[in-house]
Structure 1
Amino acid sequence: MIESWVVDDGSSVPVSSEVVLETLRARVGRRQLETWLSSSSGRSLAFVTNTDRAMVMLLRHEGDPGEHAVEPGAVGSSAGFVLSNGQHDAYPDEDTVPVGEAFRIVEHIVSTGSWPSDARWAADR
């Protein structure tokens, strides 16, 4: 069975790898900086951005600490990650990636179900 993804906002319309970036960019343009995608296999994919950097997390199931994209050696931290509940977060830059890389990672996961082979990520389990 091929895994399908939907934006976790009550929509039941699948989001393919061909349109997921357009969907994310449109949401960011509306200042919706947090997007969760749910898969037909029960996994969740989170994309949270401050428009310069993004936190990308992949969870196996509800309650799973998951894994997230990293940029080892990045120095500093970035603020401006606004969650849908209004919370404003800051993250160490090594725990986020540049937004262009985040888009690439999300597109690849939606397309193949796994991290790109050249992406760096850390398990939080």
Structure 2
Amino acid sequence: MENKIKSVPCEGQEYSNCDKHIAAVHDTMDVLNGKWKITIISLLGFGKRRYSEILKEVKGISGKMLSRELKDMEMNLLVKRTVISEQPISVVYELTDYCVELLPVIHSLAAWGTRHRQCIVEQFKQEREGVPA
């Protein structure tokens, strides 16, 4: 599989700049850590969702964990929570403009994940058939 990246982000830069780059990546991962946040962001990238819809569409997450993740994401300015006062009262979540900036990164992750899965499946098939890699 061909690597299309032409250069390494820190290549040719002073170490202090690379250190800042790595620190920024670390900070980002601190905000996005855990099993669910990127999945929730990806889902909300398709539009607003009620709490119950998110709970249904994010397979495997508990209600308690979803509440915790959404509160953390709201605190980090990733989602906006709106209470709809119609009967029955419900809560709608949507991505903030700030968080929308992450969608191209998440789309890239999804594309890479698709390619990686195909690569691993192909490798597994070849190993089962005794074909050298």
Report the TM range for the smaller structure's normalisation.
under 0.3
Bigger relative contact order, structure 1 or 2 (CA pairs below 8 A, ≥6 apart):
1
Q: Return the TM-score normalized by structure 2.
A: 0.25
Q: Return the TM-score normalized by structure 1.
A: 0.26
